[in-house]
Amino acid sequence: MTLKAIPVLGEPYLGDEPAPVRVLKVTWGVSSGSPDVTYTSDTDGAAIDSLVTLNSTNIDILDIGWFVEEAFTASAAATLGTSSDPDSFGVAGDVGSTTVDTFIQWMSGLAGLTTDLPAALPASVQGYRPAAAEDSVAGTGGAVTLAAGKMAVYVKYIKHA
């Protein structure tokens, strides 16, 4: 009988220690829903809400997930990305913020299933390392003032030395 070894093939591993995968949850939406980050009303589509500040370039984002808890105003076109590329993790057609979700949508699970994913997706699915400590996971709602809506955003990441 062969004993199993840890780490298994493909497990994040740093030096002599496995790197634990962590998941951070943040909620984003209109103020009436008491989210962690309140949506910035916007009429020209230029407002970007910083959801998670990436305080270190020593992290790799492995995946981004979202779960719409309360449907956003019908004309909303929410996207998820970084502060420098607001739809790099999820374009409006995939985030689908005007419909309540029944399960968490993971960016990596959309690969190959849709044609409107951002061009950065293949690199993002393999892991995203922030270029600068000031970068952030961000969201935009489109050129609209929202009356309703709340979503949970999940950031799956590992931290390394």
Between CA 21 and CA 156 the distance in angstroms is 7
Give the pTM. Answer: 0.77
User: What are the tokens at 156?
Assistant: 């799956």
Q: Is residue 7 part of a domain?
A: no
Which pLDDT does position 16 carry in this prediction? 66
Q: Is residue 60 part of a domain?
A: yes
Q: Is residue 90 part of a domain?
A: yes
Q: Is residue 62 part of a domain?
A: yes
Q: Is residue 13 part of a domain?
A: no
Tell me how many domains the chain contains.
1
Average per-residue pLDDT in the chain? 74
Which pLDDT does position 27 carry in this prediction? 92
What 3-state class would DSSP assign to 131? coil
Phi, psi of 61 (to 5 degrees): -85, 120
- Taking alpha carbons only, the member of 61, 60, 114, 124 closest to residue 92 is 114
Q: Is residue 129 part of a domain?
A: yes
The range of the structural domain enclosing residue 26 comes to 19-159
Q: Is residue 54 part of a domain?
A: yes
Q: Is residue 12 part of a domain?
A: no
Pairing of strands 13-14, 59-70: unpaired
Tokens 């293949």 correspond to: 122
pLDDT in tens, 79-132: 888 877 777 787 777 777 788 889 998 887 765 544 444 444 444 445 677 776
